[in-house]
Amino acid sequence: MSSSLKRLFSAISTRIIAAFLCCAAFAVPPADAADANIPVLVPITGFLSLEGTSQRNGAVLALENPPAEISVTYDVADTSTAPEVAVNALERALADGDATAVAASMFGPQMLAMIPLADRHGVPLVTVSGTAKITELGSPWVFRFFPGDTVAKVAQVDYAVNELGITKPAMIYQTTAYGQSGAAHIGENLRRLGIAPVLEEGLDVKVKDMTPVLAKARAAGADALLLQLHSGPTALLVRAAAAGNLGLPIVAGSAMHQPSTAALLDPGELDGVCAESASSPISGGTPEMDAWLERYRAAFGTEPDAFALGQYDGTMMVLSAIAAGARSPAEVRDYLAGNSHDGLAMTYRSDGSGNMAHSAIIVCYDGETRIPRVVKVFDNVTGALD
């Protein structure tokens, strides 16, 4: 055979083999390839847009960085703050039947409306909603990656009483469901420790002037303030307390740990203020957390909070489930319900009802910077990790 004929045969053979391999590649998917579709349905507008944006960012950061063997698609839909908007968004997301799991709204009323739909379709909802009731309805499809009040308020009250030695607290809370739920658990934990608040005051979210309630706290002889307020009102109260030289320790709810709340205040105004939270990513602490912090800043140009990290951890656990072989929504649910996950914020494990987070931290500001220091960690408060 002449050399030119050999080259011709060789070229033809190469093309045939290449064409075969190419067809084979399209015709037969790799046995272990995993495709996941995880819609993100969270409130990006409305009064929860601050927290909802954090939640969205956390989910997106996880979905953009899945384990190598997983291919993920996702769409982000704004649920605003109306339950019917969230339900419609979930209906649309589940219409194709290819959703593996859903990053679902942190807004409790929306979650309560979404749960029956998730039950009907059989798709896991992964959330950072704090509303206690969402895991008390008996749905096997709800997974909460944020400590509820049953965990967070234990940390807040125990720190105030056992570390700061307060005996006459004033409890100031929002008259929203969030505020009232937190206030109930603060009250419960105070009673557990044999303490009664000298003042309990509920504030509408529209209240701007905080001086009257501070005057009442002073007049009642309070030795500390325990807060359960949203972000803006927390900043208003802390600022008013500093301006009025109140001089009482403040142990706030998780809104205080949010960088956007601290950004509203001078570092000096924050001196001595503490807060409970699931985590404080900007405080750093581990190389993994620092690396995540940098990735978050690079992706979104803003500072993360515990909601972002909680949703990131939850979404990563879903992706871990898929990487471990879970393919259907039911298999993902079984994985979430039966395994633990070492997230960046904490170790997560279901307590049997879908409550995955059982740890909380206390952070305090030193008056020099807006970056708080983690002063105490309350691990495994509910005993679910044993």
Which residues of this protein are in contact with other proteins, per CB under 8 A? Answer: 44-47, 49-50, 52-53, 175, 201-204, 206-209, 211-213, 215-216, 218-219, 231-232, 235-236, 243-244, 260-261, 263-264, 302
State the nearest-atom distance from the C-beta of 269 to other proteins, in Å: 10
CB of 201 to other proteins, least distance (A): 6
Question: Which residue number, 31 or 206, has a Cβ lying nearer to other proteins?
Answer: 206
CA distances from 47 to 51, 107, 197, 241 (A): 9, 10, 30, 25
Tell me whether residue 28 or residue 208 sits nearer to other proteins (CB atom).
208
| Distance, CA of 57 to CA of 299 (rounded, Å) | 9
- 308 CB contacts (<8 Å, ≥6 apart)? 54, 55, 57, 58, 61, 281, 296
94/213 with CB nearer other proteins: 213
Least CB distance to other proteins at residue 303 (A): 10
* Structure tokens given for 162: 């056992």
Report which of 132, 69, 66 is spatially closest to residue 101, judged by C-alpha positions: 66
b/e code 114-137 from CB counts within 10 Å (16+ = b): bbebbbebebbbbbbbbbbebbee
What is the Cα 162 distance to its own chain's centre?
A: 27
The minimum distance between CB 140 and other proteins, in angstroms, equals 33
Looking at beta carbons only, is 256 or 362 nearer to other proteins? Answer: 256
Nearer to other proteins among residue 100 and residue 174 (C-beta): 174
Query: Residue 355 carries which DSSP code?
Result: B
CB of 81 to other proteins, least distance (A): 9
Q: Are 238 and 269 in contact (CB under 8 A)?
A: yes
**Closer to other proteins at the Cβ: 144 or 230?**
230
The whole-angstrom separation of Cα 66 and Cα 44 is 23
Q: Tokens in use for 25?
A: 């590649």
Least Å distance, CB 43 to other proteins, is: 9
> What distance in Å separates the CA atoms of residue 93 and residue 365, rounded to the nearest whole number?
42
